Structures are given as C-alpha cells and as structure tokens.
Amino acid sequence: MVERSERAELRRLMERLADGDRTAFGPVFALLWPRLRAFAVQFIGVADGEDAAQAALLKVFSRASEYDRERDALPWALGIAAWECRTLRRRRERRREEFALAPDHAGASAGGPSPEDAAIHRDLQSAAEAVLGELRPIDVETILATASGQRAVQGATFRKRMERALARFRLAWRARHGSE
C-alpha cells in the first residue's frame, strides 16, 4: 500500500520530470521501481514481470512530458505497467503459437487434421488465450493448473477456486464472443 505522502511526493517529482528537471529521475525511480516490479510480477510472474516493469519504467521516463498534472502519478505509471505486461504476454503467446504451428502443419500431410480443422483449433485456442488474458492472475493460474494436472491446492478449496475461475471465464467469453 502506498502512503498518501509518498503519492504526493511522486506527483511532485513527476511534475518536475515533466518540466525537464533531470534530478528527479533518481527519486522517481526509487519510488516507482518496487511498486511497478511487484505489480508486474503479480500480473505475469517473476521472469517476465521484471522485464515488463523495466519496460514500463523506461516508458514512464520517456513519456514524462505527457504526464497530466491533474491526475495521480501512481495509477498513470501502473497503467503503463499493465499495458507492458499485456504486451509481453501477447508476444510470448505469439511465439508459442509459431512453434505450435510447425508440428500441426507437418501432421496434416501425414493423415493428421485437415487444414480447416487446424485453423479452427488455432482460432479457438487464440480466442481462449485472449479471454484468459482478461482474467485475474489467480483465475488463470487455477485454470492452467487444472489443465496441466498440477494443482498446488487440493480438495474443496481448489474446487471452489475452479468454479469461480470458470464462471469468470464464461462471463469474459460471453462479453467478447457473445456465446459459450
């Protein structure tokens, strides 16, 4: 949790950065780095979270002149961090798709699925991954744990988490695609 005094200090420092005062870089970094890193790590994991937090911090500094003095600086910086997390996640998903395409394509010529079936499968998988990207990290973790069979929590607790995660997934799916 960020103290009110820290938010006020961050806002004052961001205003200085927006005015071109380079001496504010160090204090802004000291205030933002731990928060952006914690946010990104919670959002997409440790390895990718640090990369996303670094990219977000670079964007905050490069876009300091765009900072709106009427608004709180922390939500502005966290918004940039969230965007970087989504961007990094999508980039990683595309790389996985590219690697996954090669075996599917090779299998089609050896009596595997038809090109249409492979395209439908890829479209459904892409749609499901997009909906997963809209869920909370705990919901994604729960659904993926079920899919992989590696549950960290057992029993009724996990079943309830799964029930809630799937309900949120269905809502997000309907909002995006209009049906189950």
Residue 105 lies inside a defined structural domain of this protein: no
Question: 């939500």: which residue's tokens?
Answer: 75
Check residue 104 and give its pLDDT: 46
The angle, 0 to 180 degrees and rounded to 10, between the axes of the packed helices 25-44 and 4-18 is 120
82 and 8 together in one domain: yes
CATH number of the domain enclosing 64: 1.10.1740.10
Check residue 107 and give its pLDDT: 47
Q: What is the mean pLDDT of the chain?
A: 81
Alpha-carbon gap, residue 56 to 50, rounded angstroms: 10
Question: 């918004």: which residue's tokens?
Answer: 79
9 and 82 together in one domain: yes
Residue 43 lies inside a defined structural domain of this protein: yes
Residue 17 lies inside a defined structural domain of this protein: yes
**What domain range is 140 assigned to?**
134-180
99 pLDDT more than 70: no
**pLDDT digit string, tens, across residues 107-162:** 445 566 778 878 887 877 777 777 778 888 887 787 777 776 666 666 777 788 88
80 and 9 together in one domain: yes
81 and 139 together in one domain: no
Tell which wins on pLDDT, 80 or 126: 80
Give how many domains the chain has, as a whole number: 2
72 and 14 together in one domain: yes
148 and 83 together in one domain: no
Residue 167 lies inside a defined structural domain of this protein: yes
- What is this structure's pTM? 0.52
Would you put residue 154 in left (φ > 0), alpha (ψ -120 to 50) or beta?
Answer: beta
Residue 129 lies inside a defined structural domain of this protein: no
Residue 175 lies inside a defined structural domain of this protein: yes
Contact 11, 28 (CB under 8 A): no
